[in-house]
Structure 1
């Protein structure tokens, strides 16, 4: 091969143009992406409505102990702050899902990375609720008359049992919720992206 042929071949190749993804594969990707966006909107609005009801409940219900009300309000505000941070990250993924160009493989690889990252955010979000759950149990033991009189072994055993039950429920519900609303679609999209390689 002479130098002119090599230059010609070199000039014909366009490294700035990424390989396009077939229309069929784009349609396959569109369904799980749309389901993810729909589920994200549902979760955001249901969480927002839940917090509105909690605020209304706290303002309407008359607590017998002023300290108890302050503790509960502090817990709810703290939970809202943690949730706001999570939803900020959640919104960034939602925005990227809406703007992703399905023609470019690198964009899909980036999306796959974002899914893994958001899965970790979701796990961290549920782990962040562990101290809130334990604080709620402590408030129950401190202010509910039947529990307030407990001491010694009965207190320790029932406290540990409540903690174990609440944390197990948090874990099971968190796993189920993530899998039902996001996990299976993340897996579908990841497999489709891996098939494109």
Structure 2
């Protein structure tokens, strides 16, 4: 990348409310987190796509009670439909997120807020998939003939206390996984967003 060209483009921007970066180092400070965001998004996309495809073959490679196969695929295809929508939005944002963004101050500011919205959307997507994952795990455990969970599931049908306990455990696991997801997203993307935000604040202060 030619940083002189980028700086020249910033200088020609008509936005008087934001100063031009005073050094190549400032431009590099912006470039690095943008590139890291793109890299992390690309890796996570392939990991999620591979995982989603692998889950679809789960009943073929592990035992599932015949009565649970159709419910499994109903849950699975709903999760796939949600994922397709997310992947589409993911692709659109990924195309916008590149170092060419540094050639426009307005675009960089807009992209910063778009990235924040996209991260919140990603959290929502992950939160939505967690119940599906827990349901499919429960169906798998209930299918095993030697599983103690199968006996627990059967007992929950007639015992209200056991049923309430199972629902409480399910909700606790749901909240725990949501907390882990939030921590993961903040660690994987949040630090780069903070770096971009810090540089943008420096531009404002220097204006």
Structure 1 partner of 2:33: 32
The SS at the match of 1:63 is: coil
- The within-5 A match list for 1:95-106 is 95-98=95-98, 100-106=100-106
Q: CA deviation at 1:140?
A: 6.9
Structure 1 partner of 2:184: 177
Structure 2 partner of 1:168: 175
- The within-5 A match list for 1:1-197 is 17-18=14-15, 20-22=20-22, 23-65=24-66, 67-98=67-98, 100-129=100-129, 131-132=131-132, 135-136=135-136, 139=139, 145-146=150-151, 147-150=153-156, 151-197=158-204
Q: CA deviation at 1:104?
A: 2.2
Q: Is the 8 A contact 2:30 2:196 kept in 1?
A: yes
Q: CA deviation at 1:135?
A: 4.3
TM-score (norm 2): 0.75
The SS at the match of 1:80 is: helix
Q: Residues of 2 paired with 1:163 and 1:62: CA distance?
A: 22
State the Cα RMSD in Å.
2.7
Q: CA deviation at 1:162?
A: 2.0
**Larger radius of gyration between Structure 1 and Structure 2:** 1
Q: CA deviation at 1:167?
A: 1.0
Unpaired segments ≥5 residues, structure 2? 1-10, 144-148
Q: Is the 8 A contact 1:142 1:148 kept in 2?
A: no
Q: Cα 1:127–1:182, aligned 2, differ >3 Å: closer, same or farther?
A: same
Q: Is the 8 A contact 2:112 2:197 kept in 1?
A: yes
Unpaired segments ≥5 residues, structure 1? 1-13
Q: Residues of 2 paired with 1:166 and 1:129: CA distance?
A: 13
Q: Is the 8 A contact 1:20 1:103 kept in 2?
A: no
TM-score (norm 1): 0.79
Q: Is the 8 A contact 2:21 2:27 kept in 1?
A: yes
Q: Is the 8 A contact 1:33 1:185 kept in 2?
A: yes
Q: Residues of 1 paired with 2:76 and 2:13: CA distance?
A: 51
- Number of residue pairs matched by the alignment: 183
Q: Residues of 2 paired with 1:129 and 1:155: CA distance?
A: 25
